[in-house]
Structure 1
Amino acid sequence: MRGGIFASDLDRTLIYSETAISQLEAISSKSATVVEYKNNKALSVMSDRAIKLLQQIRNTLLFVPITTRTRQQFERIEFPFSHRYAVVANGAQILYNGQPLLNWEESIKREVYDKSGTKEKLLNHLIPFKIEGRLREADGWFFYYVLMETLPDCQLAEIRLTAEGLGWRISLQGRKLYFIPNAISKGRALQYIAENEGAQYLFGAGDSLLDYDFLKICDESFVPAHGELAQHLKKSSHWLTKEKGMLATEEFLTKILQTVTNPFDRRERSDLQQKIQPIQL
């Protein structure tokens, strides 16, 4: 299936931190390889089986990592293979051969300025919620809190409405609560790459609400059952994996490999997935 793309989120989709593994309590039966270090400390791993599956998939599809990580955070990851494109900062930046596409960044900056309230204005509106956590910025594109305690669902819903009123959206990933301008979108970045490459078929995988932007434009999408996004999909959704944790990663990579090597299987699966899976917020 030449001319296709496999776009995937990273954290809790392809790679897992020690914290994520302990929370999910679902570890691959096979060994894993460290793919991220910081200050000589291992941060994230990927199962060896998943690495082999992805290497095989890359023989046919263009692999595009898509992440909410900043460029610096992304560059800590040591993939055992090269990749032409990468989408970082949730779509604010597109890297091509490791360098940012400046025209893309400028267009995003203009739209954020035109369509979203400033970070300072949003922070003022968040004061009544008394969010307990460390505030961090992502290269000036967006910000997030590293929460000290879990927020009640009702409060999270109110925070979401407040952000939406100013042209922002939120996503809770583990202890991190992200606030991102609407113009910054993984889906738009993937669409740009697909058009540049003339891609005929798109596969996608992601675990968070922020991944929904690009999953909904893919021909076939996969959501790990442990993810934030899984909570907003119907249990009957064809997007959901049966497994959790690293086993979920191996599950959807196996399905993608089977699909790219069997065109008949691709047609049958596409018929199942062709409708956009609605989510409930």
Structure 2
Amino acid sequence: MTAVLPATLAAVDLDRTLIYSAAAAGDTAGLEVVEFLDGAPLSHATPASWELLAELAGRALLVPVTTRTVAQYERVRLPVVPRYALCGNGGVLLADGVRDPGWDDWAAGVAGRAAPLPELLGLLGAVAGQPWVRTVRAAEDLFCYLVAHARDAIPAGWLADTAAAASAAGATLSVQGRKVYLVPAGLSKAAGLLRLRRLLAGEGPAPRLLCAGDSLLDAPMLLAADAAVRPAHGELHEQGWTGARVAVTAATGAAAGEEIVRWLIARA
């Protein structure tokens, strides 16, 4: 691992950071479709951001860090194939596209410090029959999430009560668009990313860490970075969240994704 380690590791969230649904993009005119689901366009990016992402991959070790499952991640058409990718909120490592079983063991141990997955799933499943709920699912046997028909339809009172119950169960609640995630507190993008950086470095110096993300699940990763950037939209922006080494884009929507890639290139 250490023989090809570059000086900089660029860890980047995908949804609402690099890629955008039609609703989150702001305007899909002129955008490139980078993900299809059942033959229909699902995620978009500016053509420039996709070209620049290939440039970034030539300057730094580009590591996508996403809450997506492996199957969901593999739907995204990246301009380069990253050597490493962290899926499942840091709970799954893909190395050259192959799942690392040793990493699975580590993640299972970390997730086991929270309440059992069926208990967390039950917090979401209790409202599965409500008209505002589209689906409730488990992901990678590590965490679970709810998909609502619309973000505005999610009851604020239910969110507050579920966040409190999740915290008591050793989990974190995060709202990303129409999705509500319940993730064991120890299973984080930051924990996975820092573990990967240690393994890559071995006995040598750790690479400089640049990070980008938009959600509460990204916050620890942004704070752990040597320098980080978040878009001027999303869960963190709505909460007015910031950090000493965290920049904020001027743009929103898909244009922010392009600004983020340019920001990373300038520092890689």
Which residue in the other structure is 1:47 paired with? 46
- Cα separation, partners in 2 of 1:127 and 1:101, compared to 1, 3 Å: closer
Query: 1:34, 1:46 within 8 Å by CA — same for their partners in 2?
Result: yes
Query: 1:27, 1:247 within 8 Å by CA — same for their partners in 2?
Result: no
**Structure 2 length-normalised TM:** 0.86
SS of the residue corresponding to residue 254 of structure 1 reads helix
- Give the letter for the 1:146 counterpart: V
The more displaced of 84-93 and 115-124 is 115-124
- Give the letter for the 1:44 counterpart: S
Matches within 5 A, 1:39-78: 39-78=38-77
For structure 1, the 5+ residue unaligned runs are 261-281
- Looking at structure 1, the residues matched to 38 and 123 of structure 2 have their Cα atoms a distance apart, in angstroms, of 37
The more displaced of 160-169 and 115-124 is 115-124
- Looking at structure 2, the residues matched to 40 and 174 of structure 1 have their Cα atoms a distance apart, in angstroms, of 22
- Looking at structure 1, the residues matched to 126 and 76 of structure 2 have their Cα atoms a distance apart, in angstroms, of 37
Once the two structures are superposed, what CA deviation does each residue of 1:216-246 show, in whole Å capped at 9, x if it has no partner?
1111111111111112335797522121011
- Cα separation, partners in 2 of 1:77 and 1:124, compared to 1, 3 Å: closer
Matches within 5 A, 1:233-252: 233-234=240-241, 238-252=246-260
Q: How many positions carry a matched residue from both structures?
A: 254
SS of the residue corresponding to residue 58 of structure 1 reads helix
- Looking at structure 2, the residues matched to 32 and 129 of structure 1 have their Cα atoms a distance apart, in angstroms, of 36
Which residue in the other structure is 2:194 paired with? 191
Query: 1:112, 1:184 within 8 Å by CA — same for their partners in 2?
Result: yes
Q: CA deviation at 1:184?
A: 1.6
Q: CA deviation at 1:61?
A: 0.5
Query: 1:26, 1:244 within 8 Å by CA — same for their partners in 2?
Result: no
- Looking at structure 2, the residues matched to 185 and 235 of structure 1 have their Cα atoms a distance apart, in angstroms, of 18
- Cα separation, partners in 2 of 1:234 and 1:68, compared to 1, 3 Å: closer
Q: CA deviation at 1:123?
A: 4.6
SS of the residue corresponding to residue 234 of structure 2 reads coil
Higher RCO (CA-CA < 8 Å; seq separation 6+): 2
Query: 1:35, 1:45 within 8 Å by CA — same for their partners in 2?
Result: yes
Q: Residue 175 in 1 paired to residue 178 in 2?
A: yes
- Cα separation, partners in 2 of 1:106 and 1:76, compared to 1, 3 Å: same
- Alpha-carbon RMSD across the aligned residues, in angstroms, is 2.4
SS of the residue corresponding to residue 192 of structure 2 reads helix
Q: CA deviation at 1:135?
A: 1.1
- Looking at structure 2, the residues matched to 129 and 245 of structure 1 have their Cα atoms a distance apart, in angstroms, of 31
Matches within 5 A, 1:101-250: 101-113=100-112, 115-124=113-122, 132-133=132-133, 134-148=135-149, 150-198=153-201, 199-234=206-241, 238-250=246-258
For structure 2, the 5+ residue unaligned runs are none
SS of the residue corresponding to residue 110 of structure 2 reads helix
Once the two structures are superposed, what CA deviation does each residue of 1:74-99 show, in whole Å capped at 9, x if it has no partner?
11111121210000011110110111
- Looking at structure 2, the residues matched to 123 and 51 of structure 1 have their Cα atoms a distance apart, in angstroms, of 36
Share of identical aligned residues, percent?
Answer: 32
- Looking at structure 1, the residues matched to 21 and 65 of structure 2 have their Cα atoms a distance apart, in angstroms, of 17
**Structure 1 length-normalised TM:** 0.82
Q: CA deviation at 1:108?
A: 1.6
Query: 1:32, 1:45 within 8 Å by CA — same for their partners in 2?
Result: yes
